[in-house]
Amino acid sequence: MPNEVVIAMGSNIDPKANLELAVVKLKSRFNVSKQSQWIRTKPIGILDQPDFYNGALLMETELDLESLKKELKSIENLMGRDRSLPKFGPRVIDLDILICNGKVLDEDYHERYFLRKVVAEILPEFESVS
């Protein structure tokens, strides 16, 4: 039975182009059923950098969570993600598993309003059961 996952996406280096490219790459590998709009957000941590654009995808996958994490990292790497930069620094693309089968896996969901907003857009009936 496939896993239903919400993937959080973010970028602040040529964000619109990189987010769209990431969507294309994800759609080529997974059954993507919904996509949120992009939301412009201020950086967290390191403030002297461009604003981020963030969104989310709802998709299904037969992969287990560890395999899915590896696949997302692979996409980030193919797109040129520089992991030597600071954690809250600029990034070409950031792909995170936010929710899996109705369970919140990333605590940022509770801390960051924009994540709850994009989830509400693609899963309006969702109630956190983390």
For residue 25, give both structure tokens: 């790459």
pLDDT for position 30: 97
pLDDT for position 128: 65
Query: Could you state, in order of their start, the residue ranges of all structural domains in the chain?
Result: 3-122
Residue 45: pLDDT band (50, 70, 90) is confident
Instruction: Determine contact, residues 94/76, Cβ cutoff 8 Å.
Output: yes
Can you tell me the distance from the alpha carbon of 37 to that of 100, in angstroms, rounded to the nearest whole number? 20
Can you tell me the distance from the alpha carbon of 41 to that of 2, in angstroms, rounded to the nearest whole number? 32
Q: Which CATH architecture has domain 3-122?
A: 2-Layer Sandwich (3.30)
pLDDT at 39 over 70: yes
Measuring CA to CA, which residue among 43, 38, 6 is closest to residue 20? 38
Longest dimension (CA), the chain: 44
Can you tell me the distance from the alpha carbon of 123 to that of 125, in angstroms, rounded to the nearest whole number? 6
For residue range 102-119, what is the model confidence (pLDDT) as tens digits? 999 999 999 999 999 999
